[in-house]
Structure 1
Amino acid sequence: MTTNNMDAGTGSPSVSWAAANARRLARQGLTAPTGGGPAAVTGAMVGAHAQVLSAAELSVALRLDGGETRESVRAALWTDGSLVKTFGPRGTVHLLPSADLPLWTGALSALPAGRNAMPDGVRMSGDETDQVVAAIADALADDDLTVDELTEEIVARTGPWAGERVMDAFQTKWPRWRQMTHTAGHRGALCFGPNRGRKVTYTNPHRLLPGFTPLPGREALAGLVDRYLYAYGPATPQHFAKWLAMPVNWAKELFGSLAARGRTERVDFEGDAAWVKAGDTEFPALPPVRGVRLLPYFDAFTIASQPRTRLFAGAAYERALGGGQAGNFPVLLIDGAVAGVWHQRRSGKWIDVTVEPLGTLTAAQRAGLDEQVERTGEILQGTPRLTVGTVSVGAHA
């Protein structure tokens, strides 16, 4: 049984917000934990934002079977190599399944480059970019290097211009080559290695997946749209463009070409045209979404699910979005909608969790919140203490 009806005007299946949201939550492992391990879960999320690595560890682990902790995610990242930490959508740091690197590097390196915002005298040419990316790949082929070590190796392979400290960054100057760090990641020449003390290291992802080659751009982009729509559909080109921080007109052209090739199908989503992956038009008649979840900073579900006015309904739109940007606050999810914000601070074994609901919690919701706080403490390997009250910490930058 499905919840689909046919729209009389277009002949397309009609999908409600409730049905779409329920399917997304189920596919995300947010209705019930999912098996398959950290790499499978991260793939289902279409990447885990890892600007705050502890938040990414929590995002992935809370979708795993009970008893799993952040150590499971760390083992996948640093021990068995099934996850990789690299530059993903929007040029931001993500955890991605290593096996998916051919698709991700093929798609990300095929995105429109846009205008280089660096000023004259700092900006690198296309030829200089190619030189730096090649130098990075070669320098990291056999070892993990810190930024300073990598700078020396790049300069030795390209020339002093690549190491000139001309980039304004955090009240200091970075070497010129660093403006292309995310580009090197997108082209498959660089990813993060394990920290060396407090120092970040980089490595070559071919050490994790020997011999991989980025997929051709057209094929890779089609595959990325498939995965996005499977996880977050129905969606529009505008939604996909926002997720990737790409021009809307480019996304419209991409969606048009995929529809012409039979890769997508149109549905009526709350009165508007939207798309799903071809053959994925069934929305099972799932029971109404019930329960409480605590989602950390930059959780993939809150960033990618659209329209935000439905997920962040009413007061949540003002309180839980940082200037309209999703992910800047950890959120309290009640019955599938954002219903508050929260924050955690660690001191030794103690994890102090403050939750600010936007309404009065029922007894069942408070019991669910207690369970979520306990699960958060289990994942983060500490002893949680819950306070229900105002979160005074502002949005993450």
Structure 2
Amino acid sequence: MTELSWAQVSARRLQRHRLGTPAADAAPDAGRVADVVSTICGAHAQIASAAELSIGLRAPGATRALVRRALWTDRTLVKTRGPRGTVHLLAAADLPMWVGALTALPAPSWERSVVLLTARQTEQVLAAIADAVAEADLTTAELTEEIVARTGPWAGDLVMEAFQDMWPRWVAAMTTATRRGVICFGPNRGRASTYTSPTRWLPDFAPMPGPAALAALVRSYLYAYGPATPAQFARWLAVAPGWATLLFNSLDLTEVTVEGSRAWVAADDTEFPDDRPSGLRLLPYFDAYAVGCHPRERLFPGAAAERALAGGQAGNYPVLLVDGVVAGVWHQRRSGRSIRVTVEPLRTLDAARQRELAEEVERVGEILEGKASLTIGTVSVGPHA
């Protein structure tokens, strides 16, 4: 059995996540943006600027405008719900795999359509959604009107509690609609979200068969985050660990040990670098590397666990990454084109590290199309909700 050091694992993950030393003067490339997103299994996009920064940091020369072009003009990215049911930017070319895999997952415990909608009503709503968004980008209010017109007044009953408000009954089927690839996000209309059909991105869109899709998803996950255990995969995808163990056992995987702990990689992907992890990066809220990499105690060592995790959950703080591990937190505040970046290191940065940090802050400004300035001090902002 292959025995690996944490340094080898960390170096490979940094390499796979394109978080090594940035290439100098690389020309912007919209195709590279989709490739980056595919490689990291999606970029968390509940906060749009965080997704743009996550992608831009990994695609030399990229800016938020290039990410937006890839999403809304070139349509090489698609905004939908991915792992854990959270909003992600996914590579459009990967959508058949994602929909096939998500549809094949056991129903999540938080699925509410079984309570508010019968199976027949759910299918009626899904058909109505598909018909309504086939040729249009619709807001929630517009979609409600279209669904009620196609199904009946019951679909619009305000029975679903949410954020001190009441939503119409049909919204209970939204998760299922997204998981099955019936709907995805369209461009915002002012401050209002819109929804549309994935066939706008892939005209011949069809989900991959479930078993093949799950196998492909595990392989993609292990490429980016491996070696990993079924329990870690289950946490990343928000499924039961026992189910994930059965899935791992059904696939062609290779067991390795990481400093005595068992983990798995794809059978034909067992190469690891001998060099040590290196470099300094500023990762935004919910960055894929911080959220997806395990074990937590390795990635968030010592004081980093207390300062940069929120109840054990990663992603709620933007983090300073030094040599592949979390070594501080940071925050940015924007006013016009001015971006004030405050970094709170958890260890002393020597002169070389401070130069790297200044360069990274400058890059953050370039990606977000502003002018960034650096302050080293205490970050007073609490965790993102």
Normalising by the smaller structure, the TM-score range is over 0.9
SS in 2 for 1:344: strand
1:123 aligns with 2:112: no
Q: Contact 1:303–1:327 at 8 Å: present in 2 too? A: yes
Q: How does 1:283-322 map onto structure 2 within 5 Å? A: 283-286=272-275, 288-322=276-310
1:207 aligns with 2:207: no
The offset of 1:54, in angstroms, is 0.7
Percent of counterpart pairs with the same letter?
A: 62
1:279-301 deviation digits (Å, cap 9, x = unpaired):
11111212x22221000000001
The offset of 1:117, in angstroms, is 6.0
Which residue, 88, 99, 103 being the options, matches 1:109? 103
Which residue, 259, 275, 279 being the options, matches 1:270? 259
Distance of 1:22 and 1:390 partners within structure 2: 29
The verdict on how the C-alpha distance between 1:22 and 1:126 changes in structure 2, with shifts beyond 3 A counting, is same
> Unaligned stretches of 5+ in structure 1?
1-11
The offset of 1:157, in angstroms, is 1.4
The residue aligned with 1:13 is: 2
> Segments of 4+ in structure 1 off by > 3 A?
32-36, 114-120
The verdict on how the C-alpha distance between 1:170 and 1:132 changes in structure 2, with shifts beyond 3 A counting, is same
Distance of 1:59 and 1:91 partners within structure 2: 19
Q: Contact 1:106–1:187 at 8 Å: present in 2 too? A: yes
The offset of 1:170, in angstroms, is 2.1
Q: Contact 1:69–1:380 at 8 Å: present in 2 too? A: yes
The residue aligned with 1:87 is: 81
Distance of 1:126 and 1:395 partners within structure 2: 39
Distance of 1:177 and 1:248 partners within structure 2: 30
Distance of 1:221 and 1:377 partners within structure 2: 38
The offset of 1:33, in angstroms, is 4.0
Mean CA deviation greater in 47-56 or 385-394: 385-394
1:5-46 deviation digits (Å, cap 9, x = unpaired):
xxxxxxx11111110110010011000347751100000111
Distance of 1:180 and 1:31 partners within structure 2: 41
* Residue type of the alignment partner of 1:327: G
SS in 1 for 2:250: helix
The offset of 1:383, in angstroms, is 1.1
SS in 1 for 2:208: coil
The offset of 1:365, in angstroms, is 1.0
Q: Contact 1:144–1:202 at 8 Å: present in 2 too? A: yes
Distance of 2:310 and 2:283 partners within structure 1: 15
Distance of 2:171 and 2:21 partners within structure 1: 41
1:309-351 deviation digits (Å, cap 9, x = unpaired):
1000000011101111111110000111100101111111111
Q: How does 1:1-397 map onto structure 2 within 5 Å? A: 12-33=1-22, 36-65=31-60, 67-116=61-110, 118=112, 123-258=116-251, 263-286=252-275, 288-397=276-385
Q: Contact 2:132–2:143 at 8 Å: present in 1 too? A: yes
Q: Contact 2:229–2:262 at 8 Å: present in 1 too? A: yes
Distance of 1:313 and 1:116 partners within structure 2: 32
Distance of 1:115 and 1:60 partners within structure 2: 31
Aligned alpha-carbon RMSD (Å): 1.5
TM-score normalised per structure 2: 0.96
The residue aligned with 1:4 is: none
Mean CA deviation greater in 165-174 or 316-325: 165-174
SS in 2 for 1:220: helix
Q: Contact 2:128–2:151 at 8 Å: present in 1 too? A: yes
Distance of 1:32 and 1:365 partners within structure 2: 13
The verdict on how the C-alpha distance between 1:333 and 1:343 changes in structure 2, with shifts beyond 3 A counting, is same
1:186-221 deviation digits (Å, cap 9, x = unpaired):
101101111111111000001210121111111100
Q: Contact 2:286–2:314 at 8 Å: present in 1 too? A: yes
* Residue type of the alignment partner of 2:307: R
* Residue type of the alignment partner of 1:274: A
Q: Contact 1:55–1:298 at 8 Å: present in 2 too? A: yes
Q: Contact 2:113–2:172 at 8 Å: present in 1 too? A: no
Q: Contact 2:11–2:278 at 8 Å: present in 1 too? A: no
The offset of 1:116, in angstroms, is 4.6
The verdict on how the C-alpha distance between 1:174 and 1:388 changes in structure 2, with shifts beyond 3 A counting, is same
SS in 2 for 1:194: strand
TM-score normalised per structure 1: 0.93
Mean CA deviation greater in 144-153 or 382-391: 382-391
* Residue type of the alignment partner of 2:284: P
